[in-house]
Structure 1
Amino acid sequence: MKIIYTGLLTLFFLSLLAIGDNTMVRQDKDHKIQQKIDSLNNLCASLIYSDRDQCKIYAREAIKEAKKVKYNKGQGAALNIFGHIHLFEGNYDSARFYYYKAIDIFKSFGYDKGIATCYNNIGLINEYTGEYNAALSSFKKSLEYELEIDNQDGIASSFNNIAGVYYYKAEYEKSLYFYEKSRNIYRKINNPKEEVSTIINIAAVYEKAGKVEKAVDFNQEALLLSREYNNKQEEAIALNNLGSNFLLLKDPDQAWHYLNMALVLRDKLNDRIGLSSTLKYLGEVFVLKGEYDRAIDYYFQSLKISEELEDQRGISETLSLIGENLMEKGNFEESVGYFEESLNISSAIGARMEVLKNYERLAMAYAGQLMFDSSSRYIYLHGLLKDSLNFNPDSVNVKVENPALTVQQQQIKNLRLALIFSAIIILFLFIALMVRKK
């Protein structure tokens, strides 16, 4: 059985600080130096997605000049940008270091906007490392500061990132709800450049719901906008996700076309997180073509990067793909080890959709060894979890929560569904095994 993953959700919008405050007239002798620092930081903000080497040069100069004249706002902004650079490159400890340094500086003079931005980006690091509850805490802390100062751009960014955490926790109604809130704000304030991130993310939710053609439309729109505004990072994400879409549509040639463009761009950007994702999808192209040995080479390249980055979600996903590759070649016993390791990681980080997929894979792997007791156990667990993940994107509205069944009613419903599902799957497994033996 081939399990195709959705595209990596977009790198959530990094709220780069708008430094130039034209309404404030500075009366001190360092006014011109402060203007220079503001200009350097704004140049960094414009280059963060396209030329990070040059961005580093400008940021270092901004920090040096800001320290000379004790311009805390400019120094904090440059530190924040250094955090972004390290985040993009997968250096999470360094990114946290710079963000917390920036927070300390911003707190020294009560700059709430800067504090909110840094908490937002610390949340991103927690999200990448699979620490979803910590990520939600950081994003909500950022949102509190943004609401306090009524910063609509920042509020939209926080909604976007909160939605991303719910996506990876497989709480799709909440995810789409917050993505739509984010997009509505960007439309209201006429900010199409930053709307791109929410378009990509909404596409990912629709792909997850099985509405792949609709996801393609959203990703094509995002690709055009990212190119219009020269946002190379999100252009690469849109290309990557279009590759994922066409994998689901069983079109390996189109998938290869988009994924190769994504790979070249991500390599140029030194986007190691993105490279790991794209390598996984390139492996899946060869799975579609039945070239399993070529596929597994890409998977191990992806796994190596994810392990170096300590990207728990990426490790879990790639281990599953390696196990699936082995299972396709008839190595059922060996595949179990990969699935179980993936299951342990996905359970620990709360990635429920990945947990669900591992239950299904383990059921197949044990059935392939004629170990039907073990297979049935995972079928049962799959049925219990699957019901809680059912999702229809068209049902999402202003209300996030739906009235819940009582605990007893829900348990009865889950048990009935699990039994029905188990019977169907066992029949399917039996037929599949008979076909393999022939």
Structure 2
Amino acid sequence: MFIKYLWLFLCLITFNGFTFQNIDSLENRLSSAKGKDRVDILNKIYIGYVQESPTKALSYSKDALDLASVINYPKGRAAALNNIGIVYKNQGVYDKALDYYIESIRISAELEDRMLLASTMNNIGTVYSLKETYDKALIYFIESYETFEKLGRRKQIIGALNNIGNAYSDMGEKKKAMEYYNKSIALAEETGDLLNFDPINNLGNIYFHEGDYPQALNYYEKSKEIAEASNDFRGRAYAMANIGSAYLELNDYDRAESHFNQAIQIATDLKENPILKQIYLGLSTIAFNKKKYKEAYEARLLYDKVKDYVYNEESSRKLARLEMAFEFQQKEKELEILKRTKEITDLKLENNRIVILLGIMGTIILVAIGFILFKLKRAKIA
């Protein structure tokens, strides 16, 4: 019913002087690049494809990983491992994502690259959160937070604190969750990062479920202000719907109805059915309490309709994710087969070239021997 914000450190590994250059430019550079420079370019090209073409992103990352292994370039190898892990995570292939992240952690620890180490630990925590293994997620989020704190990386600390709060919330430990949300908010206010990040909504949800509706309202109002300042229409719709729900619990039906009605148009335009579900249920309850039974019935019908949409959307998403993961693994197998086929073809061509060269050399040697024997024979006759 209520949105929860989770910070995901995508860990798009960067290098000194990196900018998001045009993919064509990078690919042009790739044609002549060698060694470490080639690995770095491959890892950068991955960034351009990771969302739109995960199969291409995976191919470039695996090429980077292979080359980095051959030339013994551990930093490039760790970056490629992270990139591959991100692709698998995005496609829902969580176990493979974990395999690559864990190998990246091992290398990062050897390199004493604490920034990379902390980011990767957070990513592992994210995978465990997606797998709903919250106790393991918490372990990695805490490790990530402690490392970011030692590095003094405040923006990352804010996100890590929020993620720890989410893990505790999912585990049912609301007081611990509130503690970390408050720490995250305090640091975000201190650094001016609230426009980029909203742990405030998460804390509002905790107060709401604890029955402290005035406090929940306080945080939802702040969340709304942040969404408006950053032109986040979806966040604004959620905040107003949450405000409406809080006023409803306080029996302030007029204010609740006003906020629900403000949220309807935005949620409809954005096709945000989970928000509409919350709104129509609230409006139905308000109309019933005001003894407007026809309006209550009509709103309830809309709620039931949207509820079915939400259920179907969630089922479709789960099915699509499973299909995507399967198709992605099939494409990966096809790419691997094509790669191996090319390697075999190249090997055969190389073997044929060697056979031809040996044949030519053999012929030359035989001719030379024949010539020498001929000269010796003539010398004897003479």
TM-score (normalizing by structure 1) = 0.53
1:167-316 aligned within 5 A:
173-174=92-93, 176-177=94-95, 179-191=97-109, 193=114, 194-207=116-129, 210-272=132-194, 274=196, 276-311=197-232, 314-315=235-236
- Match among 11, 14, 37 for residue 13 of structure 1: 11
For the structure 1 residues 208 and 148, does the alpha-carbon distance in structure 2 shift closer, same or farther, using more than 3 Å as the test?
Answer: closer
Cα drift, residue 240 of structure 1: 0.9
Q: Which has the higher helix share?
A: 2
The Cα offsets for residues 354-396 of structure 1, whole Å up to 9 and x where unpaired, read as x5633542452354233332122112212322333559xxx9x
For the structure 1 residues 385 and 236, does the alpha-carbon distance in structure 2 shift closer, same or farther, using more than 3 Å as the test?
Answer: same
For the structure 1 residues 106 and 385, does the alpha-carbon distance in structure 2 shift closer, same or farther, using more than 3 Å as the test?
Answer: closer
User: What amino acid does structure 2 have at the position aligned with 1:154?
Assistant: A
8 Å CA contact retained: 2:244, 2:257: no
The size of the alignment, in residue pairs, is: 293
For the structure 1 residues 321 and 159, does the alpha-carbon distance in structure 2 shift closer, same or farther, using more than 3 Å as the test?
Answer: farther
Q: Which runs of 5+ in 2 are unaligned?
A: 66-75, 286-295, 331-382
For the structure 1 residues 399 and 254, does the alpha-carbon distance in structure 2 shift closer, same or farther, using more than 3 Å as the test?
Answer: same
Larger Rg: 2
8 Å CA contact retained: 2:11, 2:82: yes
Cα drift, residue 239 of structure 1: 1.1
For the structure 1 residues 362 and 270, does the alpha-carbon distance in structure 2 shift closer, same or farther, using more than 3 Å as the test?
Answer: closer
Q: What SS is found at the alignment partner of 1:243?
A: helix
User: What amino acid does structure 1 have at the position aligned with 2:309?
Assistant: L
User: What amino acid does structure 2 have at the position aligned with 1:189?
Assistant: I
1:29-428 aligned within 5 A:
77=17, 80=19, 99-100=20-21, 113-114=40-41, 116-117=43-44, 120=47, 136-137=51-52, 144-150=59-65, 151-162=76-87, 166=90, 173-174=92-93, 176-177=94-95, 179-191=97-109, 193=114, 194-207=116-129, 210-272=132-194, 274=196, 276-311=197-232, 314-315=235-236, 317-329=238-250, 331=253, 333-334=257-258, 335=260, 337-338=262-263, 341-342=266-267, 344-345=269-270, 347=271, 355=272, 357-358=274-275, 360-362=277-279, 364-368=281-285, 369-371=296-298, 372-389=300-317
8 Å CA contact retained: 2:224, 2:240: yes
Q: Which runs of 5+ in 1 are unaligned?
A: 19-76, 81-98, 124-133, 348-354, 404-438
Q: What SS is found at the alignment partner of 1:380?
A: helix
8 Å CA contact retained: 2:125, 2:137: yes
Identity among equivalent positions (%) equals 16
8 Å CA contact retained: 1:207, 1:245: yes
8 Å CA contact retained: 1:342, 1:358: yes
8 Å CA contact retained: 1:159, 1:181: no
Measured in 2, the distance between the counterparts of 1:163 and 1:325 equals 39
The Cα offsets for residues 296-318 of structure 1, whole Å up to 9 and x where unpaired, read as 33333333334444456644554
8 Å CA contact retained: 1:243, 1:254: yes
The Cα offsets for residues 26-81 of structure 1, whole Å up to 9 and x where unpaired, read as xxxxxxxxxxxxxxxxxxxxxxxxxxxxxxxxxxxxxxxxxxxxxxxxxxx1x63x
For the structure 1 residues 292 and 205, does the alpha-carbon distance in structure 2 shift closer, same or farther, using more than 3 Å as the test?
Answer: farther
Measured in 1, the distance between the counterparts of 2:24 and 2:213 equals 48
Cα drift, residue 228 of structure 1: 4.7
Measured in 2, the distance between the counterparts of 1:254 and 1:279 equals 15
8 Å CA contact retained: 2:145, 2:161: yes
User: What amino acid does structure 1 have at the position aligned with 2:51?
Assistant: L
User: What amino acid does structure 2 have at the position aligned with 1:370?
Assistant: Y
Once superposed, what is the RMSD of the aligned Cα atoms? 4.3
TM-score (normalizing by structure 2) = 0.59
Structure of greater relative contact order (alpha carbons < 8 Å, 6+ residues apart): 1
8 Å CA contact retained: 1:215, 1:245: yes
